[in-house]
């Protein structure tokens, strides 16, 4: 018996159960810990291959019903997703007013993003894409501030438009091909018509909303900045893996078609805008959470750039950078959560935290060096691969932009580190720091993520080797003349 559906079903079931237990804190904490442990095991319970559900089958030569595709690449992505989810849930257990709603929404997001990654049919992908958006909105609302409510409302309004357009695009493609199954649909997209063009455009709009690429970058960044920092770690993880999943779907469906060239160029341009806008906005911020939020957008541009190149190396580099990014960015958000517990996130009011929490400062510094692409951390490995992928297709300009954006990232990260940990502060402020406890569970999660930053920086092949087979399957080798 194959238990693969439990990757989606188990978190959903526990989300429902924990939602009903809202307010019963001891039971919720105990169950949350057990679920956090179980999540890490889920990606290893299924066998590779295609899965079909809903009692349908082959009709007129086309597959109908819900379809999943599970392979090594998707296993690595889902394991990383579940690991971050597990650490965020454990961190959330340290909150004084832990409740079932937070855990339920986190699990709902994990289930829905896993389903988006696994889906081999467009309608199932759309349904869980919308559930993921609802879960993210709910998690921001759970932060309980007026600014969080406004950010969530704005995200929800934009989501109504983007989600509707995505559904319209899927309807166009169904009309043009007669199927929703992605593998089958590929075979009917050889001849382009206005329906196909419209479908491709709507998929790209859905991709930009779900991942936070321009023109939705400010909406998404506001969402990260207004959520509690440890929740923001989860939100940005959802976005990166929705980006990976939808880019792979677009490549699988359209890549290699003559009419895809324009969209191909547009995707590369969007990724460049995401990288540049994100880091420029980050450099202008005086609030640490906003700074991290815009860097999440910028790093999403790197991920999109690798995938948009569409070569096997580019796809591997893009997915690897997504995995690295959610690890070090989650570490940074958890570090911001610890700092926020001491004295908010206004950089002008912080300083002198190094002697108070030296171990946290060291781990945050590691994460900052990782996001800046400094060896021997994981960010260096994936950024190096991305630059190699750009050079391979004869696009040195893209590699240069990546390097410049990395320099901007390094500058803003070191500036924030100085302002938070090294800047001299008064004795009164030090006494204020000492009077507030450090969330120990957050330090545990931060330590695990820091270890992974170093491990994948030294041994990148642990992940990279598992990504190549699928990248060769859907990628194509090309180069500008």
Q: Which domain holds residue 176?
A: 144-474
pLDDT tens digits for the chain (481 residues)? 678 889 999 999 999 998 888 778 888 889 999 999 999 999 999 899 988 887 666 777 777 778 899 999 999 999 999 999 999 999 998 887 657 788 999 999 999 999 999 999 999 999 999 999 999 999 999 888 899 999 999 999 998 899 999 999 999 999 998 889 998 898 888 777 888 899 999 999 999 998 889 888 889 999 999 999 999 999 999 999 999 999 999 999 998 888 888 888 999 999 999 999 999 999 999 999 999 999 999 999 999 999 999 999 999 999 999 999 999 999 999 999 999 988 888 999 998 999 999 999 999 999 999 999 999 999 999 999 999 999 999 999 999 999 999 999 999 999 999 999 999 988 888 888 888 888 899 999 999 999 999 999 999 999 999 999 999 999 999 888 7
In a domain, 334, yes or no: yes
Is 287 in a helix, a strand, or coil? strand
- Separation between Cα atoms, residue 273 and residue 301, nearest integer Å: 7
| Strand partners of residue 53 | 66
Q: In this structure, are residues 158 and 219 in contact, taking their beta carbons and an 8 Å threshold?
A: yes
Q: What are phi and psi of 179, to 5 degrees?
A: -145, 155
- Separation between Cα atoms, residue 16 and residue 19, nearest integer Å: 5
In a domain, 72, yes or no: no
Q: Check residue 57 and give its pLDDT.
A: 67
DSSP string for residues in 92-140 = HTTSTT--HHHHHHHHHHHHHHHHHHHB-BHHHHHHHHHHHHHHHHHHH
- Separation between Cα atoms, residue 63 and residue 395, nearest integer Å: 40
**Chain position carrying tokens 């959610």:** 326
In a domain, 2, yes or no: no
Residue 161: exposure state from Cβ atoms within 10 A (0-12, 13-18, ≥19): exposed
Which sign, positive or negative, has the C-alpha torsion 188, 189, 190, 191?
positive
Q: Check residue 21 and give its pLDDT.
A: 84
Q: In this structure, are residues 384 and 374 in contact, taking their beta carbons and an 8 Å threshold?
A: no
Whole-prediction pTM value? 0.95
Distance, first Cα to last Cα, the chain: 52
Instruction: Give the burial string for 190-205 (b: 16+ CB within 10 Å, else e).
Output: eeeeebbebbbbbbbb
Structure tokens at 327: 């690890």
Alpha carbon separation from 257 to 187, 431, 476 (Å, rounded) = 11, 64, 11
In a domain, 99, yes or no: no
Domain count, the chain: 1
In a domain, 163, yes or no: yes
- Separation between Cα atoms, residue 411 and residue 399, nearest integer Å: 19
Structure tokens at 309: 């190149």
In a domain, 21, yes or no: no
194: left (phi over 0), alpha (psi -120 to 50) or beta: alpha
From the list 179, 215, 225, 224, the residue with the least C-alpha distance to 199 is 179
Is 62 in a helix, a strand, or coil? strand
Q: Check residue 343 and give its pLDDT.
A: 85
Structure tokens at 198: 């419209």
Residue 39: exposure state from Cβ atoms within 10 A (0-12, 13-18, ≥19): buried
In a domain, 131, yes or no: no
Is 148 in a helix, a strand, or coil? helix
- 373: CB partners within 8 A, 6+ apart: 379, 380, 383, 384, 406, 409, 410
Q: Check residue 106 and give its pLDDT.
A: 94
In a domain, 355, yes or no: yes
Q: Check residue 98 and give its pLDDT.
A: 58
DSSP string for residues in 63-82 = E-SEEEEE-HHHHHHHHHHH
From the list 14, 197, 182, 33, the residue with the least C-alpha distance to 111 is 14
């Amino acid at each position: 018996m194959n238990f693969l559906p439990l990757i989606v079903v188990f978190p959903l079931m526990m989300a429902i159960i924990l939602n009903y237990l809202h307010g019963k804190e001891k039971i919720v904490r105990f169950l949350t810990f057990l679920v956090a442990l179980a999540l890490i095991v889920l990606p290893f319970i299924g066998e590779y291959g295609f899965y079909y559900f809903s009692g349908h089958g082959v009709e007129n030569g086309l597959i109908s019903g819900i379809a999943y595709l599970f392979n090594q690449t998707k296993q690595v992505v889902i394991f990383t997703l579940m690991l971050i989810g597990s650490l965020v849930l454990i961190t959330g257990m340290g909150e004084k007013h832990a409740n079932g709603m937070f855990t339920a929404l986190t699990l709902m997001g994990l289930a829905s993003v896993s389903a988006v990654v696994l889906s081999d049919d467009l309608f199932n992908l759309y349904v869980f894409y919308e559930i993921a958006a609802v879960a993210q909105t709910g998690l921001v609302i759970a932060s309980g501030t007026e600014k969080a409510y406004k950010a969530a409302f704005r995200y929800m309004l934009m989501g109504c438009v983007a989600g509707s357009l995505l559904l319209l695009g899927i309807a166009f493609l169904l009309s043009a091909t007669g199927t929703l199954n992605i593998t089958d649909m590929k075979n009917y997209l050889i001849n382009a018509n206005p329906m196909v063009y419209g479908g491709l455009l709507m998929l790209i709009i859905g991709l930009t909303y779900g991942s936070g690429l321009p023109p939705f970058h400010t909406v998404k960044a506001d969402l990260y900045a207004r959520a509690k920092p440890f929740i923001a770690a989860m939100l940005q993880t959802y976005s990166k893996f929705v980006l990976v999943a939808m880019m792979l779907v677009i490549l699988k469906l359209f890549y290699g078609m003559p009419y895809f060239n324009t969209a191909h160029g547009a995707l590369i341009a969007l990724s460049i805008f995401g990288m540049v806008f994100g880091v420029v906005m980050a450099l202008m911020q005086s609030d640490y959470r906003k700074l991290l939020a815009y860097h999440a957008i910028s790093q999403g541009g790197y991920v999109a750039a690798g995938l948009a190149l569409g070569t096997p190396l580019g796809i591997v580099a893009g997915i690897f950078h997504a995995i690295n990014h959610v690890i070090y960015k989650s570490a940074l958000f958890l570090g911001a959560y610890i700092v926020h517990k001491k004295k908010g996130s206004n950089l002008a009011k912080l300083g002198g935290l190094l002697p108070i929490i030296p171990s946290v400062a060291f781990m945050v510094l590691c994460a900052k060096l990782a996001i800046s692409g400094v060896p021997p951390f994981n960010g260096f490995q994936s950024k190096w691969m991305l630059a190699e992928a750009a050079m391979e297709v004869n696009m040195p300009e893209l590699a240069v932009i990546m390097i410049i954006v990395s320099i901007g990232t390094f500058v803003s990260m070191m500036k924030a580190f100085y302002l938070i940990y090294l800047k001299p502060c008064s004795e009164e402020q030090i006494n204020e720091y000492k009077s507030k406890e450090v969330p120990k569970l957050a330090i545990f999660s931060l330590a695990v993520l820091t270890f992974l930053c170093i491990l994948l920086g030294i041994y990148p092949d642990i992940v990279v080797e598992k990504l190549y087979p699928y990248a060769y399957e859907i990628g194509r080798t090309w180069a500008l003349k």
